[in-house]
Amino acid sequence: MSLSESRPGTATRETLPGPSIDFWKHRHVLDLDDFSREETDLVFEIAEGMVEILDRDVKKVPTLRGKTIATMFFEPSTRTRASFELAAKYLGADTISLDATRSSVAKGESLIDSLRTLQALEVDAIIMRHPCSGAPYIAARSLDTSIINAGDGCHAHPSQGLLDIFTMKQQLGDLKDRKVVIVGDIMHSRVARSNIWGTRHYGMKLVLCAPPTLIPHGLPEMLEKYSLNHVTIEHNLDSAIENADIIMSLRLQKERQQSGLISSLREYIQGYQINMSRLAGAKPDVLVMHPGPMNEGTEISPDVAYGTRSLIEQQVTNGVAVRMALLYLIAGGKNR
Amino acid sequence: MKDSSLLIKNARIIDPATDAEETGDILIAEGKISKTGNDISAAGAATIDASGLIASPGFIDLHCHLRQPGYENKETIATGAAAAARGGYTTICCMPNTNPPLDNAGIVNHVRDIASRDAPLVRVLPVGCITGGRAGRELVNMAELASAGCIGFSDDGSPVSDTRIMSLAMENAAVLDLPIIDHCEDINLSQGGHMNDGWVAVRLGLKGIPAAAEEIMVARDIALCELTGARLHVTHMSTAGSTQLVRDAKQRGLKVTCDVTPHNLTLTHERVMKVQDTPRTALAYDTNTRVNPPLRSPADIEALIRGIMDGTIDAIATDHAPHTIEEKLCEFENAISGISGFETAFGVLMSLVHTGSISLKTLLACLTAGPAKILQNGTGTLRPGAHADITLLDTEREWTVDVKDFLSKGRNTPFNGCKLKGLVVATISGGCLSFHHDSLRIS
């Protein structure tokens, strides 16, 4: 039984005029590695419509009325979860949220068991965050419900990748030959990994910049295996940001110092913090992004984070629009 | 059937210990090989028509986990031995990481008692701990464990990090002329790793275990072997670098031996992310591929195969590591390491023969004469007078692995559903059939 068939008042795509979504094939959103250029562009096109809705006084549309979207977070999160829940609510869906960091999961309930319970409750999509890489893939294989990955371990964060690229395009238009630098803890960053996949269609250059201890050993070989020729690795931030159009700074978790991956916060700041004096070596119109949450004063200085070059607020707003687009594509329209 | 005679007719007899290869008959009497040759007849003897089959010495496994006592939900000595017999094994060496661990003679005797009661047709040889509780701090009473029947010493999955302790252990082992069997892993370097350190780990967002974590310990152990004169056996060796270290050590005349596993010889780290016949994007995160040492790169496999061909590698050991379904039905990072390997070992390894990577005789040497040389117990040959431990093999028979049919409690294998070519048709231990396939022709 298709879950959506069992519910009255299922909205159709007529409620939201927009591009043809017939070629959209994804039942789940697990990562951007299987997104074609056409599909990524489709998300952006729909997201643009959503940005308009977000500008309205009354932001609610009935597109997903009668649908239920569950968020299940096995790892603490405030912004991503709020962003997804708002996106669902603006589209008229009902939302339930399970804080799996506190629920029965903490008592030893298995991942599969928790998810099966959700499926039995007949939700239309599960937005899932998990500290283990690959957990959403287990969910997608085990359940009939659509899974949207809201971050799994160090592996992927596809909605973040999409909102990042959407924000880049919003600012720069065509991304061809543009240079974007991602700086920080590449090793543990699912945001960087999803951006690597997501940006591959746009003819741009992506530079990953980090101290060698925060670049995984296998990264160059992986880039080669998948012909991700748009990506380069650079350890020196000052060289990396020359001629960059956008610099994206990543959060540095304090644990990295305890585990010896960086020798001291001071040294990290000297080498890798995005601050005004660093930006003096970049193009005057360089823009700065950060996926949040920020450690102000560590990877980014407050004057940059809240300054005129910062796109951080736009990223947050665009995050809701992009997630609305994903929910529309996954839970709205056709019965899958 | 015990104490009566058994005649195997028209087998292709391969005995790597004597380098003999001939088609003929084997007569077994009173648990020993009585004679081999052509047109042997024995009135009243049960007769196996082995035409089209290979007769090999019974397989010897230097590394397995039988889980009893302590983890009987994963495996028992009875179920493990039954699975071993099905895999063609007549002698298996069980690792000491039970609960309690095999760190005193009492518990070793307990295991041997269970084995003689529950698995009389498989020779179960215990490996004793190096340190009490496998904690890496205080040496066990190694002489006492040797008297109790331990064939070597290992802290297996919790390798001794303290080099001084390891050095002392080797000095004691040297006097007893028993090997130190080391799972070589620098646990500071591998700490928290989930799979081979390489591009697949990056692709999957998993933490890598570098080859160096193994090689550092292999190098250390070789240095200690030179220092103490002990026999060192590097178990489940997985990298090209380790192979070279052992090759060099052997050339220098050190008493170093090693084994590799069927899965490390046939699967690469790419198998972690994809199951055959599924699209590349459907990342598998297959917990049945989680194993320690991890599945490595194609270059490592090539080096291991070269190591087998040039004699650097002495044995192939299963590292049979059964686990419960729940321990694998979870996130990759939370899954426990290990593969249930007895029942697929031969079929999996035959793929190396069918593709021409190694010869059948070399493969059988690694399963029989090679490990027997390390055990020094007179097994692993078909010479007249030897224990009648014989495995009958059909190298051409195809079959599909189905874990539901396993005799082992452990259903954790990446080979489930694989079509294998090469089947164990019968296993004979001390003259008695410990396993036979339906197709065995016996009268």
Q: What is the pLDDT of residues B261-298, one digit of tens each?
A: 999 999 999 999 987 655 544 789 999 999 999 999 99
Quote the CA–CA distance of B229 and B231 in Å, as a whole number: 7
Task: Kindly determine whether residue A221 and residue B201, on different chains, have CB atoms separated by under 8 Å.
Answer: no
Residue ranges covered by each domain of chain B: 57-375
Q: What is the pLDDT of residues A77-111, one digit of tens each?
A: 889 999 999 999 999 999 999 877 766 555 556 78
Q: Tell me which residues of chain B, numbers 117 to 146, contact chain A at a CB-CB cutoff of 8 Å.
A: none
Mean pLDDT, rounded, of chain B:
96
The pLDDT value recorded for residue B81 is 98
A30 touches chain B (CB under 8 A): yes
Of A134, A216, A221, the CB nearest to B331: A134
**Mean pLDDT along residues B234-252:** 98
Count of all residues that appear for chain B in the document: 443
Q: Give, in words, the CATH class of B57-375.
A: alpha beta
Residue B214 backbone dihedrals phi, psi, to 5 degrees = -80, -45
Nearest C-alpha in A relative to B273 = A134
Residues of A in contact with B205 (CB under 8 A): 133-134, 152-156, 190, 193
Residues of A in contact with B208 (CB under 8 A): 216-218
Alpha-carbon A50 to chain mean position: 17
Residues of B in contact with A31 (CB under 8 A): 283
Q: What is the pLDDT of residues B109-154, one digit of tens each?
A: 999 999 999 999 999 999 999 999 999 999 999 999 999 999 999 9
Let me know if B319 is a catalytic residue. yes
Residues of A in contact with B274 (CB under 8 A): none
Instruction: Quote the tokens at residue A139.
Output: 């969910």
Nearest C-alpha in A relative to B327 = A110
B21 touches chain A (CB under 8 A): no
A33 touches chain B (CB under 8 A): yes
Task: Kindly determine whether residue B334 and residue A34, on different chains, have CB atoms separated by under 8 Å.
Answer: no
Quote the CA–CA distance of A144 and A149 in Å, as a whole number: 15
Q: What is the pLDDT of residues A216-269, one digit of tens each?
A: 999 999 999 999 999 999 999 999 999 999 999 999 988 788 788 999 999 999
Instruction: Quote the tokens at residue B400.
Output: 């599909």
Q: Which residue has the tokens 């694989």?
A: B418
A185 touches chain B (CB under 8 A): no
Q: What is the pLDDT of residues A39-74, one digit of tens each?
A: 999 999 999 999 999 999 999 899 999 999 999 999
Nearest C-alpha in A relative to B192 = A259
Amino acid at site B424? V
Nearest C-alpha in B relative to A136 = B331
- Give the A:B interface size as CB pairs under 8 Å: 82
Picking from A73, A190, A9, A221, the residue whose alpha carbon sits closest to that of residue B297 is: A221
Task: Report yes or no: B13 and B35 within 8 Å, Cβ to Cβ.
Answer: no
The pLDDT value recorded for residue A103 is 60
Give me the helices (H) in B323-437, please.
345-354, 360-367, 369-375
First to last CA, chain B: 12
Report whether pLDDT(B4) > 80: no
Residue A179: enclosing H or E segment and its boundaries? strand A179-183
DSSP A106: G
Give the dihedral of Cα atoms B18, B179, B252, B266; nearest 10 deg. 70
**Mean pLDDT along residues A273-282:** 97
The pLDDT value recorded for residue A240 is 98
Task: Kindly determine whether residue A133 and residue B285, on different chains, have CB atoms separated by under 8 Å.
Answer: yes
A152 touches chain B (CB under 8 A): yes
Q: What percent of chain B has pLDDT over 70?
A: 98
**Is CATH 3.40.50.1370 the classification given to domain A158-305?**
yes
Among the listed residues B314, B319, B389, B394, the single catalytic one is B319
- Confidence category of residue B101, pLDDT binned at 50, 70, 90: very high
Instruction: Quote the tokens at residue B257.
Output: 């031996």
B312: Cα within 13 Å, side-chain hemisphere: 24
Q: Count CB neighbours of B76 within 10 A.
A: 21
Task: Report yes or no: A279 and A257 within 8 Å, Cβ to Cβ.
Answer: no
Of A34, A112, A134, the CB nearest to B329: A112
* DSSP state letters, A256-268: HHHTTSSS-HHHH
Report whether pLDDT(B105) > 70: yes
Q: Which residue has the tokens 């495995």?
A: B391
B205 Cβ neighbours under 8 A, 6+ residues apart: A133, A134, A152, A153, A154, A155, A156, A190, A193
Q: What is the pLDDT of residues B58-71, one digit of tens each?
A: 999 999 999 999 99
B171 touches chain A (CB under 8 A): no
- Confidence category of residue A2, pLDDT binned at 50, 70, 90: very low
Edge-to-edge strand order for the sheet containing B59-64?
Answer: B59-64, B89-94, B123-126
B308 Cβ neighbours under 8 A, 6+ residues apart: B260, B265, B316, B358, B362, B366
Report whether pLDDT(B378) > 70: yes
Picking from B51, B64, B1, B62, the residue whose alpha carbon sits closest to that of residue B24 is: B51
The pLDDT value recorded for residue B179 is 98
Lowest mean pLDDT among A133-142, A287-296, B232-241: A133-142
Q: Count CB neighbours of A153 within 10 A.
A: 25
Residues of B in contact with A194 (CB under 8 A): none
Instruction: Quote the tokens at residue A239.
Output: 């060289």
Picking from A228, A32, A201, the residue whose alpha carbon sits closest to that of residue B283 is: A32
Residue ranges covered by each domain of chain A: 3-153+317-331, 158-305
The pLDDT value recorded for residue A107 is 56
- Confidence category of residue A16, pLDDT binned at 50, 70, 90: low
Report whether pLDDT(A17) > 90: no
The pLDDT value recorded for residue A111 is 81
Q: Give, in words, the CATH class of A3-153+317-331.
A: alpha beta
User: CA-CA distances (angstroms) from residue A243 to A185, A235, A237?
Assistant: 22, 16, 12
Q: How far is B206 from chain A (nearest CA, A)?
A: 7
Task: Kindly determine whether residue A216 and residue B208, on different chains, have CB atoms separated by under 8 Å.
Answer: yes
Task: Kindly determine whether residue B208 and residue A218, on different chains, have CB atoms separated by under 8 Å.
Answer: yes
The pLDDT value recorded for residue A21 is 72
The pLDDT value recorded for residue A1 is 31
Instruction: Sort residue B402 into left (φ over 0), alpha (ψ -120 to 50) or beta.
Output: beta
Instruction: Quote the tokens at residue B75.
Output: 């495996």
Task: Kindly determine whether residue A133 and residue B210, on different chains, have CB atoms separated by under 8 Å.
Answer: no
Mean pLDDT, rounded, of chain A:
90
Residues of A in contact with B282 (CB under 8 A): 137
Lowest mean pLDDT among A119-128, B236-245, B343-352, B429-438: A119-128
Residues of B in contact with A34 (CB under 8 A): 281
Q: How far is B330 from chain A (nearest CA, A)?
A: 7
Is this prediction's pTM over 0.90? Answer: yes
Pairing of strands B432-436, B419-429: antiparallel
A156 touches chain B (CB under 8 A): yes
The pLDDT value recorded for residue B274 is 85
Task: Kindly determine whether residue B203 and residue A222, on different chains, have CB atoms separated by under 8 Å.
Answer: yes
Residues of A in contact with B204 (CB under 8 A): 133-134, 155
B329 touches chain A (CB under 8 A): yes
Q: How far is B329 from chain A (nearest CA, A)?
A: 8
Task: Kindly determine whether residue B284 and residue A111, on different chains, have CB atoms separated by under 8 Å.
Answer: no
Quote the CA–CA distance of B217 and B152 in Å, as a whole number: 18
Report whether pLDDT(A19) > 70: no
Instruction: Quote the tokens at residue B12.
Output: 């292709």
Q: Tell me which residues of chain A, numbers 220 to 239, contact chain B at a CB-CB cutoff of 8 Å.
A: 221-222, 224-225
User: CA-CA distances (angstroms) from residue B287 to A137, B291, B369, B412, B429?
Assistant: 12, 9, 33, 8, 34
The pLDDT value recorded for residue B279 is 54
- Per DSSP, the three-state class of B349 is helix
Picking from A187, A165, A193, A157, the residue whose alpha carbon sits closest to that of residue A77 is: A157
ipTM of model: 0.91
B365 touches chain A (CB under 8 A): no
Interface test with A, best of B191, B197, B200, B203 (most A CBs within 10 A): B203
Report whether pLDDT(A4) > 60: no
Q: How far is A180 from chain B (nearest CA, A)?
A: 21
Quote the CA–CA distance of A139 and A142 in Å, as a whole number: 5
**Mean pLDDT along residues A151-161:** 97
Q: Which residue has the tokens 């190591």?
A: B307
Picking from A54, A101, A53, A96, the residue whose alpha carbon sits closest to that of residue A77 is: A101
- Confidence category of residue B49, pLDDT binned at 50, 70, 90: very high
3-state secondary structure B290-346: CCCCCCCCHHHHHHHHHHHHCCCCCEECCCECCCCCCCCCCCHHHCCCCECCCCCHH
- Per DSSP, the three-state class of B66 is coil
The pLDDT value recorded for residue B192 is 83
- Confidence category of residue B90, pLDDT binned at 50, 70, 90: very high
